[in-house]
Amino acid sequence: MEEQLKNSKKILLLMMCLLCVCMLTACTVKHRRQRNSVSATGSPVNTKTLTGVVTGQDVEKQNITVRELDSNLESVLYYDSTAAVTNKFGETITAEQITTGEILELAYRTSDTLLVSAAVPEDVWEYDEVDSFSFRAEENMMRFADKKYQYSANTYISSSGQQIALAELNQEDTLTVRGVGIHVYSITRTAGHGYVRLTGYEDFTGGMVEVGNRIILPIADNMLITAPAGIYRVTLCKGVSIASKTATVQQDQTVTVDFSDYVSTAKDIGTVTFDIEPEGADLTINGTTVDYSQPVALNYGEYKITVAMTGYETYSGTLDVEDASVPVHIDLIEEQATVNNSATATPAASAAGDNNSPSGSTTSDSSSSSSTDSSAASKKVDSSHTITVTAPRGVEVYLDNVYKGLAPCKFKKVIGSQTVTLSQTGYVTKSYSIDILDDDEDVTLKFADLVKETSSR
């Protein structure tokens, strides 16, 4: 009997312990539910989510502006230190670190639009350092990374945190592109372009100018060259004469490089003589169409060349200039390009040497050229129609770095994608990317007035 009483007490004690545990658990669950469903004042908290592109960030006022995907509807959301924000890597960041152009899924309180959380959706893709791209306006198509994507009037395009027009993007820019599926929702210019104006170069007219081995152009009157922001060696070549200076190109600014006080020297220059069959084929060097009816002077080094003509297989290869005289022969045939490089001459200044050692060579990259290498050669001139730039009046007009005159001016119609640059003393130089259609019609272009330079420039 006494033993049974002891067992009963044990059972009763155990049941009381279990009851206490259950009550504590219930209280905890109830507390958690209340914390997630009510505000500090005890009133319910309603949240809403949206997915969109960040179009504005105001750190001082602690708010961001978000444009919903596929619409122009924008919302201003406020934030504080309580917002749970992660970047594309899933790492925790602060709301102040959110940048324009990002695509985010955001949750916010409906009562005061206070940001609760922000994260990059799983289906959002992002390409950084995009420096080779093209647009086809008639199809709303953007091509980069060997793929085609669709953009629209709602695609947000920005530079330095400010919205810009699509036409303000230049082939010399570097971009970050974001989207979902085949759709581009955000284009951010991360590295822009500036301009190099040449002066005092009359002795080199008719030669070639190189800007850092990236840009090669014939030297003509009123030279204004669009180039990516950076530090470059600007070199002028004509025959055996060479002049070179260093230039720093800053975004949206023009740097003047004056060669009037420079004594040219003949050093590390190769004169390349091209013999190309069939006659009339187009030659491009580093993407720039070159007149090879006369020998072409180039700095020592490697160059990408393309030879193209309708009805023949396009040739793409590498030209290695290593000597003062470089003869190169290229034959185009229907199936592939063949190269007969007879670059066996020694430098003209050499008194002796091995006459069998090559001074220059060409190497075929492939039997067909890439779209990037052949783009310059594929441009068509419509001599029956014209392009007229009517405004702003009095500005210098350049088409793909070639001076065309003072606006209003008229010149032969060139088909395809190209860059129109406008310049005037005392104003900020501006470039526009345009697409000229092969539609058997004249084209009239009118641009916005240039902005006056500030005193800090």
Q: What is the pLDDT of residues 229-287, one digit of tens each?
A: 999 999 998 877 888 999 999 999 999 999 998 775 556 777 889 999 888 888 989 88
Q: Give the integer Cα–Cα distance in Å for 137 and 417.
A: 10
Q: Are residues 58 and 124 in the same domain?
A: yes
Q: Are residues 207 and 182 in the same domain?
A: no
Residue 45 in any domain: the answer is no
Residue 247 in any domain: the answer is yes
More confident residue, 401 or 239: 401
CA distances from 8 to 12, 17, 22, 167 (A): 6, 14, 21, 88
Q: Are residues 434 and 360 in the same domain?
A: no
Q: Give the integer Cα–Cα distance in Å for 330 and 271.
A: 16
CATH number, domain with residue 410: 2.60.40
Q: Are residues 95 and 119 in the same domain?
A: yes
Q: In the chain, what percentage of residues exceed pLDDT 90?
A: 54
Task: State residue 362's pLDDT score.
Answer: 54
Task: State residue 356's pLDDT score.
Answer: 34
pLDDT at 296 over 70: yes
Q: Are residues 178 and 123 in the same domain?
A: yes
Q: Which of 81-90, 198-207, 263-272, 334-343 has the lowest mean pLDDT?
A: 334-343
Residue 453 in any domain: the answer is no
CA distances from 88 to 36, 92, 103, 147 (A): 26, 10, 10, 22
Q: In the chain, what percentage of residues exceed pLDDT 70?
A: 79
Domain stop point among 266, 297, 323? 266
CA distances from 105 to 118, 175, 231, 377 (A): 6, 22, 39, 45
pLDDT digits (tens, 9 = 90+) for 306-332: 999 888 888 999 998 887 788 999 988
pLDDT digits (tens, 9 = 90+) for 111-154: 999 999 999 999 999 999 999 999 998 899 999 999 999 999 99
Task: State residue 267's pLDDT score.
Answer: 62
Q: Give the integer Cα–Cα distance in Å for 116 and 430.
A: 41
Domain range for 362 is 268-377
Bridge partners (DSSP) of residue 183 are: 150, 180
Confidence band, pLDDT 50/70/90 cuts, at residue 337: very low
Q: Are residues 88 and 173 in the same domain?
A: yes
pLDDT at 437 over 80: yes
Q: Are residues 390 and 352 in the same domain?
A: no
pLDDT at 397 over 70: yes
Phi, psi of 258 (to 5 degrees): -100, 125
Q: Are residues 88 and 61 in the same domain?
A: yes
Task: State residue 343's pLDDT score.
Answer: 39
Task: State residue 191's pLDDT score.
Answer: 94
> What's the burial of 30, exposed, middle or buried (CB within 10 Å: 0-12/13-18/19+)?
exposed
Give the start-end residues of each E strand in 137-268: 141-144, 147-150, 156-159, 162-163, 174-180, 183-191, 193-199, 208-211, 215-218, 224-228, 230-238, 241-249, 254-258
Residue 455 in any domain: the answer is no
Domain stop point among 208, 236, 266? 266
Residue 13 in any domain: the answer is yes
> What are the CB-based long-range contacts (under 8 Å, 24+) for 95-99?
95/62, 95/64, 96/57, 96/59, 96/62, 98/54, 98/57, 98/64, 99/54, 99/57, 99/161
**What tokens appear for 336 in the block?**
């592939």
CB contact at 8 A, 69 and 185: yes
Residue 409 in any domain: the answer is yes
Q: Are residues 88 and 218 in the same domain?
A: no
pLDDT at 4 over 70: no
Task: State residue 19's pLDDT score.
Answer: 60
More confident residue, 45 or 166: 166
Counting the structural domains of the chain, the total is 5
Q: Which of 263, 262, 212 is nearest to 235 (CA)?
A: 212
Q: Are residues 291 and 341 in the same domain?
A: yes
Residue 300 in any domain: the answer is yes
Mean pLDDT value of segment 407-433: 92
Q: Are residues 341 and 296 in the same domain?
A: yes
CB contact at 8 A, 379 and 396: no
pLDDT at 10 over 80: no
Q: Give the integer Cα–Cα distance in Å for 303 and 298.
A: 9
Task: State residue 269's pLDDT score.
Answer: 74
Domain stop point among 328, 352, 377? 377
Q: Give the integer Cα–Cα distance in Å for 366 and 276.
A: 18
Q: Are residues 92 and 28 in the same domain?
A: no
Q: Give the integer Cα–Cα distance in Å for 412 and 404.
A: 10
Residue 172 in any domain: the answer is yes
